[in-house]
Every structure is written in C-alpha cells, then in structure tokens.
Chains A and B, each alone.
Chain A
C-alpha cells in the first residue's frame, strides 16, 4: 500500500495531495500541466524541502509527524523527464552508480538482465553525450531499476523524445514496468500513456487530488474535473475475437459486446485494452442504419454530469456491463431528453488499442 498525505506551500502554489493506492503495479498520476504532478512526485521522493504530512510505502514510513527520512535512505528511484545521466561516467558507470545500495551478489545477475532487457549491450562503453534521447532514457531507466528501489517514480519519461523513440520506449515500458515487483508512480499528461500503462489512477487538479483508485472506476466519475474535460476517456478490458474481415479485427468486451477495430496482430483470445475518447462517442435514440461508423452498440445511460462545461455534458453509459463516457452537447442532451435509465445507441467513432 502506498499511503500519501502531503502538504507543501510554494508561494502562490499549494500542494495538498491525499491518496492511497496498491503497493504493486503502475499508478498513473494524471493532470494538466501546473496541476502539481511533478511536485507531488518530488515530495514523495523527498526532494522537496518543507513537505509536511505523511508518506508510507509498503509499511516503511518515509515521512510522518516525527520523521523525515532523507532522499538517499528512502529506497526510491526517480526517472526524470530529462535522462540526467552523469556526464563524467560512461553508460556502464551510470548503470552501476546505484550499487552502493545493493548487495554485490544480486547485482551481477541483475546487471546482465537489465542490459539485455533494455538493449544496452552495445552502449556500455559509450559516453552519455553520444547517445540519442531514447537511448539516454533507456539508460536512466536501467540505472533506476539497478538501484533496487522499493518504489519507482517516473516523471513523464517519454515527453522529451521524438515520435519514433517514444513509440519504441513505450513498447519497452509496457513489457517491463507492469511486471515489476515494486510499485511505480508514473506522472504523465498523455492519456495514451496512462491508458496503456496504469492500473490505478490519481487525478490531479490545481494542487489537489480530485480522484484516485482503479483506473476504470476513476475515469468514469462523471463529475470529476477529468471526466468533464475534453481529454476524458475510458478504457475497456477486452479479448481478441475471431475476426473474418480483411482489415478488421473483432474485439469482445467482458460483457460480450463485439467491437470492430483496425486489424491487430494479437492472437485470438489475447487480453487487450481499448481506449475510447469521450468525444468520439455520440448518441442516437434509434439504431442508425447505413452508417460508416463501425461500432454502434446498445447502451443505457447511467449518469449525467451536473455541470455543463463549454456547452457539453459528460454522459456515463453502460455498455453490456462496461462503463463508457460520452461527451455530448447540452443542446443534444435536451433534444434527446437524455436522463439516467434511458436506453439508446452509442456510436463509437474510434477506439484505440492500447495493449
């Protein structure tokens, strides 16, 4: 269990974060820039002087009323937005920097594993300045893992990279950080990264935690600042079905609905996760015929956001047991007299496969 309740004052900015997430798996910390995500992460690491409150990670207390464990004793590793490799050490030296904390015997084995996992074999004797952005970040992640932390903090590790390196590093992250024994707090403002990696979510706004918990539950709280924003999205846990069409794969939701998406390479029966942007979901009272939209599914309205944001409301739908958000104009809401309990059809313009 990661239990955080910290306060921090920085002039006009005030961080007041209180949340509790499981002590294993990836927890995304999501919010607009300036919402205090990085400050929160730094406070957890112990890098922000003057943080008050309490932080405990799987039963070790890092901050409390009468203890403030210094950074180097917190068994935390931090992957910064910029790789921040030590320029005076080569790749191998950087990887081994954290070994002071680690038993040497365990180390040799881990070193080889991390090197092969991250594809660093050919880089070991290179200087950091000769590496590309993606390579640097891979070394930084390897360095963090090798220091054997009990909590891994990642602050937008992909945001400084070009599209290509971002894509390949993402594949690596999906492979590794979800299967780590230790918990990961992953800060991002990209819904794509969050949808791909996170099992749990902490939503930040203006220095406050607006919601936290399992990702599927947090995302569908219709009145949260996130659900009412344009970035709102939901994730569906699905399995690949037997698709017969040429360019289309059939994906089955847990409730047995079938969605059609562009052909995927995953084998039949593989678990996959779909991300559906609320703005890509529109509503019809009758099933539209002759539509180019592939996915038109029967749905029941569960809830409506109370606030109208920029002329839109967020509607929470139940599609065969799964919750999906739709962003609908207030005008349409009134025209269609949308209210909880109403049965209608959801047109899903696009659904992206994220794993």
Chain B
C-alpha cells in the first residue's frame, strides 16, 4: 500500500498541479488573447518563446532555472526584495518551473479557441454597446469554455507528470518538493516495485477518471486541436 511518504508525494504533486494550473489560466488568458488578436510583428517572437518548452529537454530548462534561482544567481537580489529567500529547492521554485514548463499547453488551446470564435460575436457585442472588458467577460469567456477546459486539463496533467525540471530544481525534499513522479522513480531505483506499482496505478486511475468526467460532460471536447 501507499506509505505516508508516498501519500505526501501525491499530495504535493496535486497541489503543485492545481496551483500551477490556476496561475497559468490567469496568465495565459491575456497572453493568448493578445496573440489571437494582434498583428504586431513581435507576435512570432512571443509565440516561439511560449512554444520553447515543447521542444526543449526539461533538463535544459531546469538547468537554467537552477542557475537563475540560486541565492547567488542573477535574480537573487530581486527575489530578496520580494521577501523570497530562496526559490531553488522550494515548492515556490517548483511552481515557477512548472508554470514555464506547462505554459504552451495552456496558451495554445486558449489561443486556438479564441481564433475559432471569429470576429462576428465580438462585432455584434460591440455594436450593442459592449466595451472591450465586457466583451471578453460576457462573450469570449463563455464561448471559450471548451478551450479553457482543454487548457486546464492539459496544464494540470502536464504538471503532474513533470520530471526533468523537478529533478533539476526540486532537490527532492520530502514534504516540500518530493513529488509523485520522482517518488516512482526512486522506488524503481530501490527495486521497490510494488510501491512503484501502487503510485503508478493511482496516477493512471486518476488521469483516466479526470478525462472520463471531462469527455462525458462535454460533447465536443478534444485534447488535440489543429
């Protein structure tokens, strides 16, 4: 069965995924909206940067984060004034890493869903007197429900399964940064296959149930969008 340590790893993973997903949805909404509407020539640069984590080995991202976040790193001063004494080897550090790592998985579905809206609903809303914020809240958000669901599921799942970045910047501290994907790896290393089984099966079941609920409540849901 799951040991207290495994349970704590599970809890940390879920918390990390939940916090990361929430931050990402807030952050990605304006970013994806801007990307879907702008004709700025900086768009391609921003799109490339957002997509980087898709192609970059997680260890590379983790390595640079480790350098950047260390107490002697370039951002140490800025972080200190914010009252954050250290990010590497802390839960906050993991959140930061996860946010960057999972960014494209949240931005892209949102951006696609904003594109798919087309101009018409917004034009109609504008001619009925709705300003930009009103249009976003009362037209864009409700019409992009499926996009948000996709973004949230992908962001959550991707953060849950994250390994390389966590390995580099997490430090595997029990109760703080010891997440479930690393716990499984540790068990396998120690030849504790039965415990690795329990954790893996729990993750498998959880993922399946989440997808089942999402698919059965949303007729047109799809994780893969062109």
Given contacts A88-B142, A88-B143, contact A72 B130 (CB under 8 A): yes
Supply 11 further A-B pairs (C-beta < 8 A) apart from A80-B124, A101-B129, A144-B127: A71-B123, A72-B126, A72-B135, A77-B127, A78-B123, A80-B123, A84-B123, A86-B139, A97-B128, A98-B129, A147-B128
Known: A88-B142, A88-B143. A75 touches B129 (CB 8 A): yes
Give the number of chain A interface residues (Cβ < 8 Å).
Answer: 26
Question: From residue A45, how far is it (CB to closest CB) to chain B in Å?
Answer: 6
- A residues less than 8 Å from B126 (CB atoms): 46-47, 70-72
Task: Kindly state whether residue B77 has any CB partner on chain A within 8 Å.
Answer: no
Closest chain A residue to B128, Cβ basis:
A98
Query: Which of A72, A86, A87 contacts B129, CB < 8 Å?
Result: A72
Given contacts A84-B121, A86-B139, contact A100 B127 (CB under 8 A): no
On whether A45 and B142 interact (CB within 8 A), knowing A84-B121, A100-B134, the answer reads no
Task: Provide the residues of chain B in CB contact with A73, threshold 8 Å.
Answer: 129
Say how far A187's CB is from chain B's closest CB, in angstroms: 14
Q: Which residues of B contact A80 (CB under 8 A)?
A: 120, 123-124
B residues sitting closer than 8 Å to A (CB atoms) are 120-121, 123-132, 134-135, 138-139, 142-143, 145
**A143 contacts the other chain (CB 8 A):** yes
Which A residues between 137 and 194 are near B, CB-CB below 8 angstroms?
Answer: 143-144, 147, 153
Which of B120, B131, B138 lies in contact with A72, CB distance below 8 A? B131
A-B contact pairs, 19 of them (CB 8 A): A47-B126, A72-B128, A72-B129, A72-B131, A74-B127, A76-B127, A78-B123, A78-B127, A80-B120, A84-B123, A86-B125, A86-B139, A87-B143, A97-B125, A97-B128, A97-B130, A98-B130, A147-B129, A153-B127
Q: In the assembled complex, which residues on chain B have CB atoms less than 8 Å from the CB atom of A153?
A: 127
Q: Given A72-B130, A98-B129, A147-B129, is A84 in contact with B124 using a C-beta cutoff of 8 Å?
A: yes
A23 to B98, CA, bound (A): 59
Given the contacts A87-B143, A88-B142, A47 and B129 also touching, CB distance less than 8 Å = no
Smallest CB gap from A87: residue in B: B143
Name the B residues within 8 Å of A76 (CB-CB).
127
- In the bound complex, residues from chain B placing their C-beta under 8 Å from that of A84 are 120-121, 123-124
Contact of A100 among B120, B123, B129, B132 (CB under 8 A): B129
CB pair B127–A45 under 8 Å, yes or no, is yes
Known: A87-B143, A88-B143. A143 touches B120 (CB 8 A): no
Contact of B128 among A70, A82, A88, A143 (CB under 8 A): A143
In the complex, the chain A residue whose C-beta lies closest to that of B121 is A86
A-chain residues with CB within 8 Å of residue B130 when the two chains form the complex: 72, 97-98, 100
**Chain B residues, CB < 8 A from A100:** 128-130, 134
Whole-angstrom distance between the Cβ of B21 and the nearest chain A Cβ:
23
CB 8 Å contact bits of A92-117 with B (1 = contact, 0 = none)? 00000110110000000000000000
Nearest CB on B from A97, distance (A) = 5
CB-CB < 8 A to A88: which residues of B? 142-143, 145
In the complex, residue of chain A having the shortest beta-carbon distance to the beta carbon of B119 = A47
The contact of B124 among A70, A74, A75, A86, by CB within 8 Å, is A86
Chain B minimum-CB-distance residue to A153:
B127
List CB contacts (< 8 Å) of A54-86 with chain B. Answer: 70-78, 80, 82, 84, 86
Q: Which residue of A lies closest to B142 (CB)?
A: A88
Do the beta carbons of B142 and A47 come within 8 Å of each other?
A: no
Residues of chain A with a CB closer than 8 A to B123's CB: 47, 71, 78, 80, 84
B128 surroundings in chain A (CB, below 8 A): 72, 77, 97-98, 100-101, 143-144, 147
In the complex, residue of chain B having the shortest beta-carbon distance to the beta carbon of A82: B120
Residues of chain A with a CB closer than 8 A to B145's CB: 88
Nearest to B139 among chain A residues (CB) is A86
Instruction: Give the residue name and chain of the A residue nearest to B124 (CB).
Output: A84
Q: How far is the CA of A153 from the CA of B128 in the complex (A)?
A: 12
Residues from chain B with Cβ under 8 Å of A143 in the complex: 128
Nearest CB of chain A from residue B116's CB, rounded to whole Å: 12
CA distance A144 to B130 in the complex (A): 13
Residue of B nearest to A47 (CB): B123
From B125, B135, B139, B143, residue with most partner A Cβ within 10 Å? B125
Across the A-B interface, the 4 shortest Cβ-Cβ residue pairs: A101-B129, A98-B128, A71-B126, A78-B127
Which residues of B lie under 8 Å from residue A77 when comparing CB positions?
127-128
Q: How far is the CB of B130 from chain A (nearest CB, A)?
A: 6
Contacts of B138 in A (CB 8 A): 97
Chain B residues with CB under 8 Å of A74's CB are 127
Using Cβ atoms and an 8 Å threshold, which residues of chain B touch A98?
128-130
Q: Which residue of A lies closest to B144 (CB)?
A: A88
| Residue picked from A71, A74, A87, A101, most chain B C-beta under 10 Å | A71
A3 smallest CB distance to B (angstroms):
20
Nearest-CB distance from B125 to chain A (Å)? Answer: 7
Chain A residues in 8 Å Cβ range of B120: 80, 82, 84
Bound Cα distance from A147 to B129, whole angstroms? 8
Chain A residues with CB under 8 A of B135: 72
For A87, list chain B residues within 8 Å (CB): 143
